[in-house]
Amino acid sequence: MAATVQAQFANSTGPTLTNAESSGVTWNRDDTQTGVTPVPIPTATGTKYSYLKYLALVVTGTAATAISNRRLSLSTGAATGLFVFFKDQATYTQNNGTQGASAGNYPADSGSNGATPAGYTMASTSLQLWDNTSVSAGGTGKNGDYVQCVFGVDHTFVGGPGNATAMPGLTLTYDEA
């Protein structure tokens, strides 16, 4: 029998893990799951980034199996000038609103369009590995590393500001044996 696994969003101190499947995650400059502080659209060549969004696979129903090969993909391609970047992150550090720090904050805005922050991979519609470790599903809680995500918008984006901008969904998948 397979484990019951849920994608969850991590934030605040501790962190607090919350179901990300039912209410989703909004890209913003808040340390919240669905905040409203927008990521500004650059007025000249460059890319601006959201706060980091930490996601995790969480075992909610145990099994005598192990989970490995945690992967991420976009459900569809993003509009021109919109990007999602990700990387494996073993530890959680709370966002504090400081740009450019290496953990727990968000990348410094770039002077280039579509710039991939150092250490990140640009998400695509193909499954991409973030954590290949094998972890027992015999206990409840976070299984494996976080996938640390950040959203970027560059000067080539022609849509307007606000939450009416459609973004592709994130698909998290894994192997279980």
Digit-coded pLDDT (tens) for 60-92: 999 999 999 999 999 999 999 999 999 999 999
Is residue 17 scored above 70 in pLDDT? yes
Is residue 23 scored above 70 in pLDDT? yes
Q: Which two tokens stand for residue 166?
A: 């459609």
Helix, strand, coil percent values for the chain (each to nearest 5): 0, 40, 60
pTM for this entry? 0.94
Cα–Cα distance measured from residue 174 to residue 71, given in angstroms and rounded to the nearest whole number: 6
Question: pLDDT-derived band of residue 163, with 50, 70 and 90 as boundaries?
Answer: low
- What is the average per-residue pLDDT within 21-46? 91
- Specify burial of residue 76 (Cβ count, 10 A radius: 0-12, 13-18, 19+): exposed
Q: What is the pLDDT of residue 104?
A: 64
Q: What is the pLDDT of residue 159?
A: 84
51: left (phi over 0), alpha (psi -120 to 50) or beta: beta
Question: pLDDT-derived band of residue 149, with 50, 70 and 90 as boundaries?
Answer: very high
Cα–Cα distance measured from residue 67 to residue 57, given in angstroms and rounded to the nearest whole number: 10
- What is the average per-residue pLDDT within 27-55? 92
CA dihedral 147, 31, 25, 141 (to 10 degrees): 50
Q: Which two tokens stand for residue 12?
A: 């605040």
| Residue, of 97 and 55, whose pLDDT is higher | 55
Q: Which two tokens stand for residue 26?
A: 């909004």
Cα–Cα distance measured from residue 154 to residue 122, given in angstroms and rounded to the nearest whole number: 14
Question: pLDDT-derived band of residue 166, with 50, 70 and 90 as boundaries?
Answer: confident
Helix, strand, or coil (residue 143):
coil
Cα–Cα distance measured from residue 1 to residue 62, given in angstroms and rounded to the nearest whole number: 9
Digit-coded pLDDT (tens) for 132-142: 999 999 999 99
Digit-coded pLDDT (tens) for 85-112: 999 999 999 988 888 866 668 899 999 9
What is the torsional sign of CA 151, 157, 160, 164?
A: negative
5, 18 contact by CB (below 8 A): no
